[in-house]
A and B are shown apart, each in its own frame.
Chain A
Amino acid sequence: MQTQLSRRSLLKLTGLAGLGAAAAGCSSGPPSGAASWAMWSSSPAERKVWEDFSAYVERELKIKSVPNLTPSSGYPTKLDLQLVSGTASLVTALNGTLIPTYAARGAHRPLDDLITQDPDFDLGDFYQPIRTISTFNEQTYGIGFDVAPTVLYYNKTLLQKQGIALPSRTEPMTWAAFRDLAKELTRPPDQYGFSCAPAIDDLVSWIYCAGGNVMNADATRSALNAPEAMEAIQFVVDLFVKDKVTPPIANLVTESSLSNFLEGNVAFMQNGPWQVVNVRKAKFDWDIVPFPAGAAGSTPRVSGSSFAIPAKVRGDDLELAWKLLKTLTSKGALDIYARAGRNNPARLSAGSAFKPPPDNLGIVQDILAGKVAGGHPFDVTTNWNQVKQLLGQDLPRTFLGQVTVKEAIDGLTPRLDVLMEQHQDNIRQASARKG
């Protein structure tokens, strides 16, 4: 049977369909009364962990849990838009490097009042570095869920094949010893001694180990032109340009130390324990050791991530948000996270769940506890994105041998000083808001 549809009816139906589509497309944010939380997730394995978290939240809080998962590359942009439009989740995950950025702009609220009023919550069970990372302007803005120092991965199979003694689990190599070893293990184009990203995120570990920093102690001026920082940058650049112990850089955007290491022909890789879950896929034997020690010892970057509460969450929602945040960072939840091998949990009491392989995985907690080597919380500013952009523009050219370290640092120092002044302005504005 044929159905006749008049032009008028067709227009009406089209209009209704359009309205329906528009209504469906307009999000009014997470459902009211549900425990909504935002997190980055870029793989099915990661998604599984957060689904387990979600089930744990529902069991503990007896309410519906709504995890808003977004691939990590798009997470900050989506979070920004949700924060601005008032549709953000009750609790949002934040990478530690962005906590001062959001805190200084009033996007998230300080948690000190909630912590003080809650006798059940023990901030002392969290590693000190993640507490430092989650603090801005002397106020706590996040509760950590993971924290870890940068370590040195090594290809055990390759070292054993070359008859080289395996590096110590407890005693970090000196830079000189590391460089010699990297050179000895380099046989281009088939084999290389070392791989790291030609970017500030990796470079800071060397700078900290040399006793330097990106900015001075009160973050008022650039400190990259200080002798310690210059020495560190020159050392790493020499590994690339002079000693050529690293695989050739083909593209600055897609360069990945992990991919290089997983090829099986790179002896050492600088990375965090958050990559353990990926390196477990390697077809060779490997392990981790403390980061090579410079003049200031083995004090590489310590990074972490936290959960925080957006500033617009108030009233009953705030009470629920705090309960949710406590649950997401509880020992039970962090045990799930650590058991899945994602990263070292931020709570001391959950540490035992982050288990080998590799054999030396325990050094992560030993480093954080100050028993082995050391670490340096990642010092960032309230405009870290801008600082990273500036350093990301000029520093990689030194790794390519296009400019010398001195030329690059001399060129970027005045601009970095301007960014430090902006950072100070941001702090002043945040302090004024704090009253």
Chain B
Amino acid sequence: MAVDTLPATTAAAAPHQRPAGARKSRNREALTAWLFILPSLIGFLIFTAGPVLAAGVISLLNWNLFSSPTWAGLKNFARLGPDPTFWSALGNTAYFTFVSVPVTILVSLALALLLNEGVRRIAVFRSLLLLPYATITVAVAFVWIWLYIPHDGLVNAVLGLVGIDGPAWLISDGWAMPALIAMSVWKSFGFGMVVFLAGLQAIPQQLYEAAKVDGSNAVQTFRNVTLPMLSPALFFVVVTSIIGSFQVFDQALIMTNGGPGSRTTTLVMYIYRTGFENYDQGYAAAQSLVLFGFIVVITAAQFLLQRRLVHYDN
């Protein structure tokens, strides 16, 4: 055979060397792949990575936007400690996140489970339930302002039917934030519902049949089959929801403008005001980086927990 005639070194090297044509083809494939991701990559570099790096630099400056910036070092970060508004905004944001995310997930999951139970015309229901998510927040916020009107609003009218005298939701110290949370849950449950529904429909039927054969009841089946198999979807929704909730802005700006007092002033709202209304770009950038840090830490913790709690089929 021809192979027998090859020198030993050549024979050994053959598997590592690709013919020039194959290499060229592979390079072309790589180039094509890069070309495909290039638009997204350029967008990411210009609109995401660039601003993050810029925020890092600006956080070290005193800059009022119009005159030349001056060096501030870490002073902008040092200002965060004694700033009560920053901590209050951070507290409000945490309150919003740690109430709205679990409630949104519970509502999304419940609706996804319902829709998965062989509902007829599922596509119609799915579309209807996804509508709030697809509607712009500004429009939804204005509608909810009307719903929350103390005397003539729909919410208090309904409560009135069962003998409850509803509060002045958006101007009440205690109820303004829950009112924003309720609106946000309504606005965003559709996203989680669709992801959960896709996850539920991907669970193999054999697992349910096996559970049935083993005599497990509905709760046991949910706990031991549905939930583990749905955990990747659940993990995805939790991570994206927490990141989104930490960035809550529009609904608070439109519905309460951060009030009453500063009860609904969120961190992003405070950052916006610091940077674009008070022209304190350095301090706003420092706040943004701290928010970024919080989100990174929380997301990293979730990824660590994922190893123990999330079940991947493969």
Chain A positions within 8 Å of B, measured between CB atoms, are: 11, 18, 77, 80, 83-84, 101-102, 105-107, 189, 248-254, 311, 383, 385-386, 389, 392-394, 396-397, 400, 402, 433
State the CA gap A383–B273 with chains docked (Å): 12
Closest-CB distance, A21 to chain B (whole angstroms): 11
Contact indicator B145/A254 (Cβ below 8 Å): yes
Closest A residue to B65 by CB, please name it: A84
Which one of B145, B170, B171, B262 has the highest number of Cβ atoms from chain A below 10 Å of its Cβ? B171
Contact indicator A433/B67 (Cβ below 8 Å): yes
Contact indicator B261/A394 (Cβ below 8 Å): yes
Contact of B279 among A105, A250, A397 (CB under 8 A): A105
Closest-CB distance, B135 to chain A (whole angstroms): 19
CB contacts (< 8 Å) of A393 on chain B: these are 258-259, 261-262, 265
The B contact surface, by secondary structure, is loop
Contact indicator A77/B170 (Cβ below 8 Å): no
Is B254 part of the binding interface, using a Cβ–Cβ cutoff of 8 Å? yes
> CB within 8 Å of A: which of B115-158?
145, 148-151, 153
Is B66 part of the binding interface, using a Cβ–Cβ cutoff of 8 Å? yes
**6 extra interface residue pairs, beta carbon distance < 8 Å, beyond A248-B151, A397-B260:** A107-B65, A252-B259, A252-B260, A392-B259, A400-B171, A402-B173
Interface size of B by CB at 8 A reads: 31
Contact of A105 among B35, B65, B150, B151 (CB under 8 A): B65
Closest A residue to B259 by CB, please name it: A252
Closest-CB distance, B260 to chain A (whole angstroms): 5
Which one of B39, B255, B273, B277 has the highest number of Cβ atoms from chain A below 10 Å of its Cβ? B277
Closest-CB distance, A260 to chain B (whole angstroms): 14
- Pick 7 A–B contacts, CB within 8 A, sort by A: A107-B66, A249-B171, A254-B145, A389-B278, A397-B259, A400-B171, A402-B261
Contact indicator A253/B261 (Cβ below 8 Å): no
State the CA gap A84–B150 with chains docked (Å): 43
Contact indicator B66/A102 (Cβ below 8 Å): yes
Given the known inter-chain contacts A77-B276, A385-B278, please indicate yes or no for A251 contacting B170, CB distance below 8 A.
yes
Scoring B residues 49 to 78 as 1 if CB is less than 8 Å from chain A, else 0, what string do you get? 000000000000000111100000000000
Contact indicator B278/A253 (Cβ below 8 Å): no
Closest-CB distance, A389 to chain B (whole angstroms): 6
Contact of A106 among B66, B150, B265 (CB under 8 A): B66
CB contacts (< 8 Å) of A383 on chain B: these are 278
Contact indicator B65/A251 (Cβ below 8 Å): no
Given the known inter-chain contacts A84-B65, A107-B66, A311-B66, please indicate yes or no for A251 contacting B145, CB distance below 8 A.
yes
State the CA gap A105–B64 with chains docked (Å): 7
Contact indicator B279/A101 (Cβ below 8 Å): yes
Contact indicator A253/B257 (Cβ below 8 Å): yes
CB contacts (< 8 Å) of A389 on chain B: these are 273, 277-278
Contact indicator B276/A11 (Cβ below 8 Å): no
Contact of A250 among B168, B173, B256, B258 (CB under 8 A): B168
Contact indicator A253/B256 (Cβ below 8 Å): yes
Given the known inter-chain contacts A105-B65, A252-B171, please indicate yes or no for A397 contacting B261, CB distance below 8 A.
yes
Scoring B residues 276 to 303 as 1 if CB is less than 8 Å from chain A, else 0, what string do you get? 1111000000000000000000000000
State the CA gap A433–B67 with chains docked (Å): 10
Pick the 10 closest A-B CB pairs, nearest first. Answer: A107-B66, A385-B277, A105-B66, A106-B67, A105-B64, A250-B149, A253-B257, A386-B278, A251-B170, A393-B262
Contact indicator B262/A253 (Cβ below 8 Å): no
Contact indicator B65/A11 (Cβ below 8 Å): no
State the CA gap A194–B149 with chains docked (Å): 20
Contact indicator A11/B35 (Cβ below 8 Å): yes
Given the known inter-chain contacts A18-B39, A248-B150, A386-B277, please indicate yes or no for A253 contacting B254, CB distance below 8 A.
yes
Closest B residue to A389 by CB, please name it: B273
State the CA gap A393–B265 with chains docked (Å): 10
State the CA gap A107–B148 with chains docked (Å): 41
Closest A residue to B38 by CB, please name it: A15
CB contacts (< 8 Å) of B173 on chain A: these are 402
Contact indicator B67/A251 (Cβ below 8 Å): no
Contact indicator B259/A83 (Cβ below 8 Å): no
> CB within 8 Å of A: which of B152-175?
153, 168, 170-171, 173
Contact indicator A400/B260 (Cβ below 8 Å): yes
Closest-CB distance, A139 to chain B (whole angstroms): 16
Contact indicator B149/A251 (Cβ below 8 Å): yes
CB contacts (< 8 Å) of A18 on chain B: these are 39
CB contacts (< 8 Å) of B39 on chain A: these are 18
State the CA gap A385–B67 with chains docked (Å): 18
CB contacts (< 8 Å) of A402 on chain B: these are 173, 260-261
Closest A residue to B253 by CB, please name it: A253
Contact of B255 among A83, A253, A400, A433 (CB under 8 A): A253
CB contacts (< 8 Å) of A11 on chain B: these are 35
Contact of A80 among B35, B65, B145, B168 (CB under 8 A): B65
Given the known inter-chain contacts A101-B279, A397-B261, A402-B260, please indicate yes or no for A253 contacting B66, CB distance below 8 A.
no
State the CA gap A80–B171 with chains docked (Å): 31
Closest A residue to B151 by CB, please name it: A248
Which one of A250, A396, A402 has the highest number of Cβ atoms from chain B below 10 Å of its Cβ? A250
State the CA gap A233–B171 with chains docked (Å): 20
State the CA gap A80–B65 with chains docked (Å): 8
State the CA gap A96–B269 with chains docked (Å): 25
Contact indicator B64/A396 (Cβ below 8 Å): no
Closest-CB distance, A227 to chain B (whole angstroms): 25
